[in-house]
Amino acid sequence: MEKNVVNNFGSFDITFEKGQGSTLSDVNGKKYIDFVSGIGVNCLGHNHPELVKALQNQVAKQIHISNYYVSDIGLKYAKNLLETTGYDKVYFGNSGAEANEAAIKLARKYGYLVSTGKMASTNGTCAVSDKKRNVIVTLEKSFHGRTIATLCATGQDKFHPDCFAPYPEGFRTIKANDYDCLKTAFDETVCAFMLECVQGEGGVNLVDADWAKAAAEAARKAGAIVIADEVQTGTARTGSLLASTELGFDPEVVTLAKGIAGGVPMGACIYKGIAKDVFVAGDHQSTFAGNPLAVAAAETVLNNIKEKEVLENVSKMGEYIRNTVRSWNLRCIKEVRGKGLMIGIDIEETSKFATAGEVQKMCLAAAEKGTGLCISTAGVKTLRFLPPLVITKEEVDTGLEILKSILS
């Protein structure tokens, strides 16, 4: 890593030059199977011809305009996204954290409007209250971003170091899939319940569908809206366009990012029902939000992932990876779990490695003798896979052969 680039990410000493499909090439000509896809960003893989063409065409037209105006491609994509998802309105941003910031601000304003009697809540009440409705309930082991507010929403103490204090108040956590906690989780101070459909950074932890529906019902009964953080799970990562649709809890607000534009920085916050008219001009803005280049990429991605073949590949390859790893029956593998192409593998220490991070380095080092493998981690003992949604069986098999040789 060059010394003049701040290494906030703890980046490895590998410099990539190009990619094709689900394979990356570094500046020394070494090849790597990509099971990371930019942490779920390069959903169509690398150098996808339709995405490349769309970006080239848009660059030749316009890259950016002020949000004083709207672009033709922005209007086209907004219509496509909302019709496809069944939502009413969209706010475009530049990242997942920014999308979640928008959702948090929307929730807080909703709570203000309800508590001041200016709008009815999800339980139908409309009356002035002496209690402020500004608490957002999230899940333990959740992750919602690295801005100060989204760090507060994140239910992991390791993301709350003293050096960033003081933190904003108004967040509390409950345990996922715990029915008992729902009895006391929501009251008249809560404006929103925010959850990931699969906890990515927390360890690729699945949320039970029945519990999610029960939690959403409890939140709405208390007058709160429901927010699905689909920054990682959205854009077909789990095998359906929105994971919240599959879980069936029908959130008023959904946040999207990661793969939404296939590698171009972008995020979005979509909302409907009681949430659709909360924001007005001036409530939340961003200079680059919804720029024509990003939405041109997003339009291409959406049109591709709506295709039956892509969704089927996500489900098929995800199941194939999980079943294959389980079939190895290796003592170091404690659990394999996931949904679609969002996969977590818990490992235990062996004589060859002690942590998931060490396995990650060994997978990269495999390139010295042939082909390397890019994987991610989600905690000390969890390997995480987020390969491109269009990854082929041949690419999967090559990557799994590398992993098996290291874990065996």
Active site residues: 143, 229, 258
Under 8 Å CB-to-CB from 201, ≥6 apart: which residues? 143, 156, 378
Burial bucket for residue 146 (CB in 10 Å: 0-12, 13-18, 19+): middle
In degrees and rounded to multiples of 5, residue 406 shows phi and psi of -80, -40
Tokens of 250: 């029908």
In degrees and rounded to multiples of 5, residue 403 shows phi and psi of -65, -45
Helix axes 292-305, 308-327, angle to 10 degrees: 70
CA 223, CA 191: separation in Å to the nearest integer?
7
CA 150, CA 105: separation in Å to the nearest integer?
11
What is the dihedral angle through the alpha carbons of 140, 206, 333, 45, rounded to the nearest 10 degrees? -110
89-93 and 190-196 strand pairing: unpaired
SS3 category, 192: strand
